[in-house]
Amino acid sequence: NSQLASTLDAVILETNYDVLLITLDQKSARIQKYHGSQIIQESKLGIDLQGRHKKGGQSQGRFLRARQTKIHVFFKKVANKVKEMDADSLLILLGGNGTVKTEFYDELNLDLAKKCRFVENLSFSTSQDEINKKIIHHLYQHRRKYVAELIEKYEKLVKEGLTAKRNDVIAKALDIGAVDTLIVSANYHTNSQFKKIMRMIEIAKNTSCKIEFAVSPKIIKKLDIDNSVLAILRYRIR
C-alpha cells in the first residue's frame, strides 16, 4: 500500500500542473509557483508593522484602526501580486495563522477565489516534504472530482464514436493528433503494456492533447478492463 501511495504521489506531481502556494501573516507573505514539484517563481512581500500601542500620543483606538488599514493595504498588494503570478494555475493554496487566511481571501477577485483552497498547518517554517504532501493532497482531491466528471463525458461520447479504449487504436489516434484527452490509470506502471503506455504519454505531452491520471480505485478498476488507458477524440477515426 505504501508503494502504491508513493506511486500515486509521483503520478499526481507528474501531471505538472501549476499550483500557487501562499504563506502569510499580517506583515509578510511568500508566494511560490509550483510546476509539478519544482518552484518556478517566487515572490516575498512584507511591511514594517508595529505590534503594540505605545503609551502617549496616539489613542489605542486610532492606533488599532491605523494598524488594520496598513494590513488591509498590504493584503491588497499581495492579492495583486497573486493575480500577476497566477496565469493558468490549477489551484491556489492559502495558508497562514488564525483569521489571516479569511481576511486575505476577501481581497481575491472572483476568478482567483474560485481556485483558492485553505491549507491547514502551513507556516514559513513548514518543511519542503510537508509542503509537497499538502500540494499532493489538494491536487488529489481536485483531480479525483474532475476525472469522475471526465469519465461521465467519455461514456456519453461513446455513442458518437468520439472515444477509443484499445491501446493500439489510441496509439494510432495520437500519431495523427486525433486525441483530445488521454485518461490514464495511476497504476499504469504495473500494466504489462507499460512501455506502450509510456510511449502514448510521451506523444500526448508533445502535442496539445490533455493528460489526466485517474486515482480513484473505482475508476482505476474500470480502466484496468480496458488496458489502463481511455481516450476522448477530437473527431471520429476509422
Quick: pLDDT tens for 54-112.
Answer: 665 568 788 888 888 899 999 999 999 999 999 888 899 999 887 889 999 999 999 99
Residue-level pLDDT at 162? 92
CB–CB of 191/228 below 8 Å?
A: yes
Predicted pLDDT at 149: 86
Q: Which residues contact 76 (CB under 8 A, 6 or more apart)?
A: 107
pLDDT at 57: 59
pLDDT at position 1:
47
CA 216 – CA 58 distance, rounded (Å): 59
CA distance 237 to 193: 23
CB of 144 closer than 8 Å to CB of 219 = no
The mean pLDDT value for 190-201 works out to: 82
16: confidence class by pLDDT, cuts 50, 70, 90: low
Tens of pLDDT, residues 109-133:
999 999 999 999 999 999 988 998 8
As a whole-number percent, the residues of the chain with pLDDT over 70 amount to 89
Strand ranges (DSSP E) for the chain? 18-24, 28-35, 38-46, 91-96, 116-118, 163-164, 179-185, 210-214, 229-233
pLDDT of residue 94: 95
Is residue 140 within 8 A of residue 215, CB to CB? The reply is yes
Quick one: 10 exposed, middle or buried, by C-beta within 10 A (0-12, 13-18, 19+)?
middle
Q: Per-residue pLDDT for 235 more than 50?
A: yes
| 0.85 surpassed by pTM | no
**pLDDT at residue 4, rounded to an integer:** 46
Q: What is the mean pLDDT of residues 160-182?
A: 91
86: left (phi over 0), alpha (psi -120 to 50) or beta: alpha
Which range has highest mean pLDDT (13-22, 27-36, 138-147)?
Answer: 27-36
> Is the Cβ–Cβ distance between 197 and 191 less than 8 Å?
yes
In order, the DSSP letters of 121-179 are S--TT--HHHHHHHHHHHHHHHHHHHHHHHHHHHHHHGGGT-EE-SHHHHHHHHHTT-E
Query: How high is the mean pLDDT of the chain?
Result: 84
Confidence (pLDDT) at 62? 84
